[in-house]
Structure 1
Amino acid sequence: MTGAFLAGLVAGYGVAIPVGAIAVLILGLSARTSFRVGAAAALGVATADGLYAAAAALGGAVVAGLIAPVAGPLRLAAAVVLLAIAAHGAWRALRPPTPTGVAGPRRGLDTPSRAFAGVLALTLLNPATVVYFAALVLGRGDAADPDPWAAALFVLGAFVASASWQLLIAGGGTLVGRMLTGPRGRRVTALVSSALIAALATAMLLPQ
């Protein structure tokens, strides 16, 4: 049973550690808003990874086969959403500042609940994750007759790994935000984050 949990940990870190648009989004959110918002977004990613790990552990090749035909459209949808987020972030950074003492409306992903739901939905648009987990499950020989307890431990390990890494990224974003406390520093952070997200989203649209 311990082996299933460790396998989930390794699989979770394997899918979480490569820095992509979602990681940059979490970093930027934490720097621009607060650790609470960044942490909520991080847990949204971990929840999506956990759901895909569960689908792979319980369905294996069947789930991967169902996902494969729609992988292209989902990738396109994810890229479009990321480009919209990048454009919105850049617009917010460049618009005139709110007068002192006047609280502007909280929109987009700037609250914990919205950050969690939005990043969860965005991460679920990446079907490659379930294919990745399914390949690992098939490689371990667990797909033919999955043990429910082993599957649960595998999913738990994947969730813990993903959550710990994404929370580390959120913490890093918070440190950046504290170092750049002035309006100009936060504006630069938001613009750099938007530019990186746009670049990574554009890369998703290129032929694989």
Structure 2
Amino acid sequence: MMEVVVAGMLAGYGIAVPVGPVATYLVGLSARSSARVGAFAALGIASADGIYALIAAIAGAALAPVLVPIVMPLRWISMLVLVALALTGAITAVRRYRARRLGGVTREAPLRARTAYFGMLGMTLLSPMTVIYFAALVLGSTGTGSAPLFVVAAFLASSSWQLLLAGGGVLLGRVLTGHVGGLVTALASSVLIVVLAVRLVA
């Protein structure tokens, strides 16, 4: 039982720790919003990891060969979605900066925690490498009885890391509260997301 838990935690950290475009977007989102929104967004990513862990635990290593033909289309879809999000974030940041500079009062509708959760869940589910990663880890050694432990351990490990990233984003947002600082961090985040997204298909 302990071996399955450890394997699940290692699997969760293994897929969560490498910083990619989704993690970059999470940090930027947390910096622009609140701790609550950031936490829900982090749990959305972790939920996707948990779903993929469940699929991998049930399907086992037989899942990876089936996914090979659709990996590249999924990568392109993921890239397009991430680039669109990056451009939207950059445009919003520039408009906010100009509005504040002109002295206008702009009040954006705060992002709802539920929207952040499902948005990050959907974004993470677009990543085909997560499925293949978990399918490669599950070699049939975790039977039906131990699969739930593996999934829960992977979810908790991913959750702890994503919440850490969200917390770092919130702290970053509190430090860079000025108009210029907010603009610079938003644009830098958008550029980094585009670069990482393009690398998915490079």
TM-score range, shorter chain: over 0.9
Distance in 2, Cα, partners of 1:164 & 1:104: 30
Say whether residues 1:159 and 2:161 are aligned partners: no
Shift in Å at residue 2 of structure 1?
1.5
Instruction: Tell me the CA shift for residue 149 of structure 1.
Output: 2.8
1:17 pairs with 2:17: yes
Deviation (angstroms), 1:25:
0.4
- Could you say which residue in structure 1 is the equivalent of 2:167? 171
Q: Once the two structures are aligned, what percentage of the paired residues are identical? A: 51
Describe how 1:64-143 pairs up with structure 2 within 5 A: 64-95=64-95, 96-97=98-99, 99-100=104-105, 102-106=106-110, 110-138=111-139, 141-142=140-141
Tell which deviates more after alignment, 179-188 or 149-158.
179-188
Q: What's the offset of the Cα at 1:78?
A: 0.3
- Which deviates further from its counterpart, 173-182 or 65-74? 65-74
CA distance in 2, matches of 1:44, 1:66: 26
Secondary structure of the 2:19 match is coil
Structure 2 CA distance, aligned partners of 1:65 and 1:16?
Answer: 23
Displacement after TM superposition at 1:63 (Å): 2.4
Instruction: Give the Cα–Cα distance (whole angstroms) in 2 for the partners of residues 183 and 37 of structure 1.
Output: 21
Q: Which residue identity lines up with residue 46 of structure 1 in the other structure?
A: A
Query: How far apart, CA to CA, are the structure 2 residues paired with 1:111 and 1:83?
Result: 22
Deviation at 1:129, TM superposition (A): 1.0
Deviations 1:94-130 (A, max 9, x none): 1132633x52345xxx321111111111111111111
What is the Cα-based RMSD across aligned positions, in Å? 1.4
Secondary structure, counterpart of 2:177 in structure 1: coil
After the TM superposition, which segments of 4 or more aligned residues of structure 1 sit over 3 Å from their partners?
A: none
How many corresponding residue pairs? 197
Q: Distance in 2 between matches of 1:182 and 1:149?
A: 53
1:45-76 CA-to-partner distances (Å, cap 9, x unmatched) read: 10110011111111113322332221111110
| TM-score, reference length from structure 1 | 0.90
5+ residue gaps, structure 2, are: none
- In the alignment, the residues of structure 1 paired with residue 181 and residue 195 of structure 2 have an alpha-carbon distance, to the nearest angstrom, of 21
2:200 alignment counterpart: 204
User: What is the CA–CA distance in structure 2 between the aligned matches of 1:36 and 1:97, rounded to whole Å?
Assistant: 26
- Looking at structure 2, the residues matched to 76 and 31 of structure 1 have their Cα atoms a distance apart, in angstroms, of 27
Distance 1:77 1:175 in 2: 31
